[in-house]
Structure 1
Amino acid sequence: MLFRVIVSPQNIQKVRLDPVPDSVDGLKLELKSKLQLKDSFDLQYEDEDFRDFCNLTCLADLPKDKVTLKVLFTCPDTLSDSSLDTTILGESSSPSTSSPSIHSELSAARSQPWPTTFPIPVFTYDVELRLRQGNEAFRKDGTLLSIPRDIKIEILEKLAENIYSYKAYPGNEEIESVAAALIEKHPCLKEPSSTSGWYGWKISLKFKMGNYRQKLRDAGCQELKVNSERRGLGETRGKGNKVKKPRRCETNFLPDLPQGKDRESLEKEREQMAVEMMKRTPDITFVDAAMSSTYSLRRQEVVDEEPPVSQMKIRWPAIFTERQISKEFTRLVSKDLSKSFLEGLDGHLSKLIQLFRSKRYEDIPEMTSILESLDKNILTA
């Protein structure tokens, strides 16, 4: 059976299932695997009688050959270990038995890397109304929409806000992807004098991002304020003219302190965590929550003070464990460390096999067995 699956307005996929699962839950598992969906969701199908979407509770309600499904994501009941969502633990004087109230949510934290296709946000009602009418006119006779200055400013400001939710300093290619996604969703905004149709939008977005960063910097955003230091001015005298920006892969370079927290309260949590790590068997749940909650404090130390490794081992002993290295990587770049490593390793597999063969491992039976197994896997793949 052929399925048209609407994951989002910008993500519509065609999926063929043969045979079709015999239950709604089985269908969900198949779609979750094929579309690589991580969060839990419900399904709706396009009903032929009502010409509208209805909740899918029985597979017998589906049409025979072709079906249009809509994915509706639901809030997860529980949080995974790598989640950066809010976790509140019970209060107690002993962290090993019951951890203190720790909010592991990162203030203004980014939980997703830059998307493959940038999701264009929904604008205000009047702007969406004009864009809808403009898109209809464009599909009829190719008429382009003449945009008033106030509407263009509102579109750029909304896009800048969404861009910042992924990156504070997007690169040239990323700005281009946003401009291209805007024109793809709203073709009436194309520029007649531009070959691509979005070059002017790209330039406008670059300037708007600069203005948006300045606005946040004036409001006291630490992530952007750290780059406003000038040589020999006030408290920064003697620090030099270091420009501290996130690298391309970093999503949470220098977040602000969590709402309702200050350096003093986070320092107390750090001290409790350091004491817990001295135990033979530390409370992993407490350490995970404390490390997540104090991430902003730790990043400010690393970026602003640049402490030596010996000092970091004393103040943050948990960061040198395998578990917390992986979690800190997830907090910084919003990716799973082991998965990223294995995917990168797979990309170099063929060259690694050639390297191993050139070293002549005939005298090592284990290596010979591994190479033979890899050859079989490659042939059957």
Structure 2
Amino acid sequence: MFVNMMAQPIRLRIILGEDDARKLILPAGISDSIEELCQEVKTNFGVQQDFRLQYQDPDFGNEFVNLTAISEINDKATLKVVYLDSVQLQSFTEDEGVTCQPVRSPTHSFSSSSADTDNTRPVSSSGSSPSTRLSVWPSVFTVPRFSYEAELQLEKANAEFIAGGTHLTPSPKLKSHLLERLAEEIIKFKVYPTDNDLNEVAEALVKQHPCLREQGSFNGCYGWKISLKYKMANVRSKLRGLGCAEVLVNSLKNKAQDKSQAALNVKKPRRAEVNYCPQYPKGETTDSLEKERIALLSEVQKRNNDNIVTMKMQKTFSYRRQEVIQGQPFIADFKSRWPALFTEKEIDKEFLRISTVPLLSRFFYELDLYTPRMMELFRGKGGVAGRKMRHIMVAISKDDTIHTRRACILKSLCVYLNEDHEKLVKEYTNTEANTEAMEQTVMGVYVIHQEAAEPGDDPENIGVLIEGVEVLTGLRSIAIACALLFGLIYCLNLSYPPELKCTFEVLQKIIMKLDGQRLSSKAQFLKNKLMG
């Protein structure tokens, strides 16, 4: 969905349940109706149940009141999602206002058994595996509560540490319990945590419980990090025995015959994919999901059938994802099996399923946010790179539309990172001589101009090429094509092209804010400049 970035962005705090509040950014401003706002909530957070929205009314001490007029909402407002059962739905529809009807949505909450509170329940996971994750690794890891007995021991030991500096040497039983609970919390976000992730967990543990700080460790928690590393390896072994797809894909029997090379082909999240290789939905098998895929081939041919297509795409997400990761199919073959995926709308939803982050709205909001500062940096660049960027930016003076500005920023970004922008955006004329060149393209955006076109004329066609296949065509702008190419890299589990590695890293870690804590020197230098 294209977003009009000229409108004033609106930031909302959405309360989805107990201990679950999230930020919703509406780059195009507030919706025109409550129904449209509900749709934004569903799309971004994967809500399937019937619900109503409540807002904080200043006339009643900021208590939550049912939302009946969109004019009640301002920037940075807090809204509460209240889920309804069938009885409540009938009563509310007749007497109180607008109900947000359910639709199939991309993501679902991580399995939970929490009780209903104030008629607010966890998001239904129908059509999805109960282990489907809800969010990316947190910026600040929260140490979970331990058992009652363990909390008592830690509380006493913390008091003694504050009073006299006495460190606790946990018994094997206590240490095992602490590691078990920490591992359970880690699994909610990823099965393969990095060293940095484990270090964050260890630091959070000794910060909350200073009695556990290690006296002989350079940072007070290195031993806890190593213990967590071995604990996670043991957890993965157990999950493999239980048939967890995310770790089963890395078992030796699923590797090549040369077992000595097994470790070189570990399939695990590389770019902050939250649902990298999900389990099949409850009750589904390979055969049943294959039938859904075949049915989807006919559904995609029908007009005004978006809801059914979205429902079936959601249901077959795990099947499709395992096919991509384990089978590593050719793009042409995969497109023929899953034609519904190769649209702007479905790529956006698939990216949301994988990363829990919306693709197009986040991409354009952040890109436009950084644009003024980027233009300053590009104008101040000297040498050959500076001349190239100034030449690219000339297009803005001739056609200062949002499409042109975004395209110029993306091309100039490549040059600023010492990469060739023509590897990202390949421009052709509409002659037969270009067909062979396009077929040789491994990955990129293509733009076809009429042979006698003047500067500023609209191109004849814009699309995306992967392995020489036109996977997308008829797109509205170069910037949308670049965003969808980035999304397809996630959807198809592709590597970044080596000649554009830094550019895609910046798009991922700075623009999309996925795994943004670890940056290469080039990306870190650019981030420092943007924040300066």
TM more than 0.5: yes
Q: Is 2:229 the counterpart of 1:206? A: yes
Report the 3-state secondary structure (helix = DSSP H, G, I; strand = E; otherwise coil) of the residue aligned with 1:227.
Answer: coil
Q: d(CA) in 1 for partners of 2:346 and 2:267?
A: 24
Q: Is 2:289 the counterpart of 1:266? A: yes
Alpha-carbon contact 1:21-1:27 (below 8 Å) kept:
no
- Report what 1:367 is aligned to: 400
Of 293, 305, 310, the residue aligned with 2:332 is: 310
Q: Is 2:60 the counterpart of 1:23? A: yes
Range 211-220 or range 337-346, more displaced: 337-346
The alpha-carbon deviation at position 133 of structure 1 amounts to: 1.8
Alpha-carbon contact 1:32-1:38 (below 8 Å) kept:
no
Of 193, 207, 216, the residue aligned with 2:216 is: 193
Q: Is 2:130 the counterpart of 1:110? A: no
Shift in CA distance, 363/211, structure 1 to aligned 2, threshold 3 Å: closer
- Report what 2:348 is aligned to: 326
Q: d(CA) in 2 for partners of 1:288 and 1:363?
A: 38
Unaligned runs of 5+ in 1: 1-6, 12-19, 42-75, 87-101, 372-381
Q: d(CA) in 2 for partners of 1:185 and 1:225?
A: 34
The alpha-carbon deviation at position 327 of structure 1 amounts to: 0.9
Q: Which amino acid aligns with 1:127?
A: A
- Report what 2:119 is aligned to: none
The alpha-carbon deviation at position 159 of structure 1 amounts to: 0.9
1:328-359 Cα shifts (integer Å, max 9, x gaps): 11111121112431354233542235547834
Shift in CA distance, 132/322, structure 1 to aligned 2, threshold 3 Å: same
The alpha-carbon deviation at position 135 of structure 1 amounts to: 2.2
The alpha-carbon deviation at position 322 of structure 1 amounts to: 0.9
Shift in CA distance, 232/368, structure 1 to aligned 2, threshold 3 Å: closer
Map 1:140-289; keep pairs closer than 5 Å. Answer: 140-229=163-252, 230-232=255-257, 242-282=265-305, 284-289=306-311
Alpha-carbon contact 2:189-2:274 (below 8 Å) kept:
yes
Shift in CA distance, 306/365, structure 1 to aligned 2, threshold 3 Å: closer
Shift in CA distance, 107/307, structure 1 to aligned 2, threshold 3 Å: farther
* TM-score w.r.t. length of structure 1: 0.68
The alpha-carbon deviation at position 232 of structure 1 amounts to: 1.6
Shift in CA distance, 362/314, structure 1 to aligned 2, threshold 3 Å: closer
Q: d(CA) in 2 for partners of 1:38 and 1:336?
A: 20
1:102-152 Cα shifts (integer Å, max 9, x gaps): 932234111100001112112222112211222232333332222101110
Q: d(CA) in 1 for partners of 2:314 and 2:301?
A: 19
The alpha-carbon deviation at position 24 of structure 1 amounts to: 4.0
- Report what 1:132 is aligned to: 155
Of 297, 317, 334, the residue aligned with 2:319 is: 297
Q: d(CA) in 2 for partners of 1:238 and 1:84?
A: 35
Q: Which amino acid aligns with 1:219?
A: L
1:247-303 Cα shifts (integer Å, max 9, x gaps): 131111111211211112212222222211011322x22222211111110011111
1:6-61 Cα shifts (integer Å, max 9, x gaps): x999x9xxxxxxxx944344789999965x977648xxxxxxxxxxxxxxxxxxxx
Range 20-29 or range 250-259, more displaced: 20-29
* TM-score w.r.t. length of structure 2: 0.50
Q: Which has the higher contact order (CA 8 A, sep 6+)?
A: 1
Count of residue correspondences: 303
The alpha-carbon deviation at position 368 of structure 1 amounts to: 9.7
RMSD: 3.8
Q: d(CA) in 2 for partners of 1:32 and 1:181?
A: 35
| Sequence identity (%) | 36
Alpha-carbon contact 1:138-1:144 (below 8 Å) kept:
yes
Q: d(CA) in 1 for partners of 2:73 and 2:228?
A: 36
Q: Which amino acid aligns with 1:291?
A: M
The alpha-carbon deviation at position 172 of structure 1 amounts to: 1.3
- Report what 1:358 is aligned to: 390
Shift in CA distance, 184/238, structure 1 to aligned 2, threshold 3 Å: closer
The alpha-carbon deviation at position 80 of structure 1 amounts to: 7.2
